[in-house]
């Protein structure tokens, strides 16, 4: 009888030990590998969300920049259309003083002609150099992200544009007087717009683009 009692007691203790071990394992929570997997999933989700946000932001900023360029170029044409010297006196400071610049262009004082875009790059408006009086003027934007340059140029089109240069590489030329004020473009040879050439010119870092406008 004593043997059976001791055996029964031992079985009870063994069952209790197993139950406690199961509870301990159950309460240990997630393993390190499981936690790492969760962090990886969260990281991938955040990276995807950021990429989508950046893409949407670039599209929005490009639309705004294209709209600004159209507004400023139209304003310069209107303001200087009746000038006997045509665009000879066009400059950033005067465009600012005449209220031609948009609210998206930041300037500290019209008197100094220091104008910046939202990327803290210079915005320069100047008279053309190829004839007198010049038949054109230029707008130069600096420190613009590559994706925004591509989207801006695609958005604005080439209506009224004589030449477009990106980082010193001509991506479009009408082949007429004033085209070569967009550095690298020719005023004798037309060069059709090429998406492939534009993609090559923008590179991978923020850069500049210059547009020559005519009447």
pTM for the whole structure: 0.74
pLDDT at 4: 46
2-47: per-residue pLDDT in tens? 444 545 445 555 555 555 555 544 555 567 787 777 777 777 766 7
pLDDT at 149: 97
Between residues 62 and 56, which one has the greater pLDDT? 62
131-187: per-residue pLDDT in tens? 888 999 999 999 999 999 999 999 988 889 999 999 999 999 999 999 999 989 999
pLDDT at 1: 59
HSE of 113, CA atoms in CB hemisphere, 13 A:
9
Place of tokens 């997630």: 30
Mind spelling out the 3-state secondary structure of 117-146?
A: CCCCCEEEEEECCCCCCCCEEEEEEEEECH
101-126: per-residue pLDDT in tens? 998 887 667 778 889 999 999 999 99
For residue 76, what are its two tokens?
């310069």
pLDDT at 108: 64
Asked if residue 61 has pLDDT above 60, the reply is: yes
């Amino acid at each position: 009888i004593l043997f059976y009692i001791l055996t029964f007691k031992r079985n009870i203790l063994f069952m209790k030990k197993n139950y406690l071990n199961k509870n301990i394992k159950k309460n240990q929570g997630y393993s390190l590998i499981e936690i790492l997997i969760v962090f990886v999933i969260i990281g991938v989700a955040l990276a995807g969300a950021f990429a989508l946000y950046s893409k949407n932001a670039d599209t929005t900023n490009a639309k705004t920049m294209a709209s600004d360029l159209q507004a400023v170029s139209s304003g310069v044409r209107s303001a200087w259309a009746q000038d006997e010297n045509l665009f000879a006196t066009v400059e950033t400071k005067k465009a600012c003083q005449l209220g031609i610049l948009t609210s998206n262009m930041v300037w500290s004082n019209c008197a100094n002609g220091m104008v910046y875009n939202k990327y803290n790059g210079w915005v320069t408006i100047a008279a053309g150099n190829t004839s007198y009086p010049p038949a054109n003027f230029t707008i130069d934007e600096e420190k613009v992200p590559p994706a925004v340059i591509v989207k801006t140029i695609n958005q604005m089109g080439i209506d009224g544009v004589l030449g477009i240069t990106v980082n010193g590489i001509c991506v479009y030329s009408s082949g007429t007087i004033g085209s070569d004020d967009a550095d690298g473009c020719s005023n004798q040879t037309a060069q059709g717009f090429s998406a492939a050439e534009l993609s090559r010119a923008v590179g991978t870092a923020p850069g500049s683009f210059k547009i020559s406008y005519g009447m």
